[in-house]
Amino acid sequence: MHRTKVRVAEDALDANTTIAQANRADFDREAVRVVNLMSAPGAGKTTLLEAIFREGLGELRAGVLEGDVQGSLDADRLSHFHVPVTQINTDGSFGGECHLDANMVRSALGEVPLDEIDLLIIENVGNLVCPAEFRVGEDAKAMVCSVTEGEDKPLKYPLMFRTCGLVVVNKIDLLPHLDYDIGKLRENIRSVNPDAEIMEVSARTGEGVEDFRDWLVRAADREAALA
Amino acid sequence: MHELSLSSAVLDTAVRHADGKKVKLVELTIGALRQVVSSSLEFYFEIVSRGTVCEGARLDLNLVEARVRCGACETSWTLDDPIFRCPSCEDSEVEVLTGNEFFVESIDVEEEACTAQR
């Protein structure tokens, strides 16, 4: 027996990226734009989507791919809104994967009616760490950050805050009850990601939700994105 | 906590290049911006590699610091905290020079001494 060195020189996430590109090609073929929506658990992703679908997105036909470790509680909540919702569960391996990767999304694509929608919102597993690493074939990444999480989160999870083009600050209806400095949060987001768009909303009261709706409509506009 | 996911990605890459041979060492280059905890990556790799050609393989980690450069005044510095703002001119157009790496550079595999003998 002897040892040989085999040169690899490959990004360890290349395999994921290749599958993400295949997903992207499928989305492009069906003219579907894709938003990867991420956050910590309990930041309000599903409540925000409920607020969006309650009013609707006008002409835009949206679908949701719902990622959870287990169960279909979130998908059940969204099923009232006459939007196609597809559930992915990440359990089955090692206590359940804490994020969606490109292959999990790929395996669910057969159940997503791509020909009937213009926009697919992928609600990722609640987690501020791993989802930031794995592309799934999205056009845009957005995150929800709630005011109950503390202003320091961008500095603690810079990978997530740097990867997202939009940060939706949720639960602002709670601000009167909290010692929370939203200016400090904005400053911290700017420190790690100067280009991020920031919007303040309350998914519960509906305040500011139209800003996110407008952003989704813009995200779905292929010509605008190309221009 | 992402070290579990990342160790699986490292394993998949190493196994794909091992061509069925026993892997003894996996050499990685990891940038500071990836926020990888070395001991945690090694811990998870030991677990996820069980029952594969990488079982028992050692990880050799080359850690790369986060170097960035200001697009406005061209000052370059090492990031200790994730503050992407120039310490000289306060501009926020900051380019990452190094620190985003997450590469499998090479693997050491065991070869049969003489493949003609069976």
Mutation pick from B1, B2, B100 vs chain A, by most beta carbons of A within 10 Å, is: B2
Q: Do A12 and B16 touch (CB under 8 A)?
A: no
Question: Does residue A192 lie within any of the structural domains?
Answer: yes
Least confident of A37-41, A67-71, A179-183, B17-21: A67-71
The predicted-structure confidence for B49-97, as pLDDT tens digits, reads as follows: 999 999 999 999 999 999 999 999 999 999 999 999 999 999 999 999 9
Q: Is B93 on the interface with A (CB under 8 A)?
A: yes
The token pair that represents B57 in the structure block: 């393989």
Query: Which residues of chain A make contact with B108, given a CB cutoff of 8 A?
Result: 3-6
Q: Do A118 and A217 meet the contact criterion of CB atoms below 8 Å apart?
A: no
* The CATH number fitting domain B3-109, selected from 3.40.50.280, 3.40.50.620, 3.30.2320.80, 3.40.50.720: 3.30.2320.80
Residue whose entry in the numeric block shows the structure tokens 């506009």:
A221
Chain A: which residues have CB within 8 Å of chain B?
A: 1-16, 94, 97-99, 101, 129-130, 132-134, 154-155, 158-159, 162, 190-194
Domain range list for chain B:
3-109
Question: Does residue A33 lie within any of the structural domains?
Answer: yes
> CA-CA-CA-CA torsion for B94, B98, B100, B102, nearest 10 degrees?
170
Angle between helices A209-220 and A45-55 in degrees, nearest 10: 80
Identify the pLDDT of residue B117: 46
Q: Do B16 and A15 touch (CB under 8 A)?
A: yes
Identify the pLDDT of residue B112: 78
**What average pLDDT does chain B have?**
93
Q: Band of the pLDDT at A225, cuts 50, 70, 90?
A: low
Q: Do B12 and A6 touch (CB under 8 A)?
A: no
Identify the pLDDT of residue A97: 77
Q: Looking at the predicted structure, is the pLDDT value of residue A218 above 90?
A: yes
Rounded CA-CA distance A193/A143 in Å is 13
The predicted-structure confidence for A130-175, as pLDDT tens digits, reads as follows: 999 999 999 999 999 999 999 999 999 999 999 999 999 999 999 9
Q: pTM for the complete prediction? A: 0.91
Query: Which residues of chain A make contact with B17, given a CB cutoff of 8 A?
Result: 6, 8, 10
| CATH number of the domain where residue A192 is located | 3.40.50.300
Rounded CA-CA distance A14/A3 in Å is 26
The total of structural domains in chain A comes to: 1
The token pair that represents B31 in the structure block: 């940038």
Identify the pLDDT of residue A227: 47
